[in-house]
Amino acid sequence: MNEILAELLNEMQSKIGKVSALMFLLDWIGKRTDEKIINFSIKKARDQSWKIANEFWALGGFEKINRVNQVDESIKSIGEFIKNPKSGFLAFILKFISRFEEKNIETIIKKLKE
């Protein structure tokens, strides 16, 4: 499954480029590093998801609710880290790129379906 997802990466980057015209800058700056990071992250995320699913299966009641809250907080932290990278240069590039992105949700959905 990880190999299939890795093969879809270029297609997804192309689709994202339709709504974020300057996204190619990240690809250019990162050379092949961005693909390696994404593929590594997908593998780690899938491994962690499987581990958590097995934990949930074994838990019940309040234990499960507490574990769900812990996972939610962990995912929120990851999202915040991605949204606000510690690298000033990367933060600047992402902010610059976002200024030229499509903002209309309907248009974004249409372009991603193309």
HEC profile of 9-65: HHHHHHHHHHHECCCHHHHHHHCCHHHHHHHHHHHHHHHHHHHHHHHHHHCCHHHHH
pLDDT at 76: 93
**What is the average pLDDT value for the chain, to the nearest integer?**
85
CA 87 to chain centre: 17
Q: What is the pLDDT of residues 63-112, one digit of tens each?
A: 999 999 999 999 999 888 888 888 888 888 888 888 888 888 998 898 88
Stretch 13-22: mean pLDDT:
81
pLDDT at 71: 94
Query: Could you tell me the pTM of the whole model?
Result: 0.61
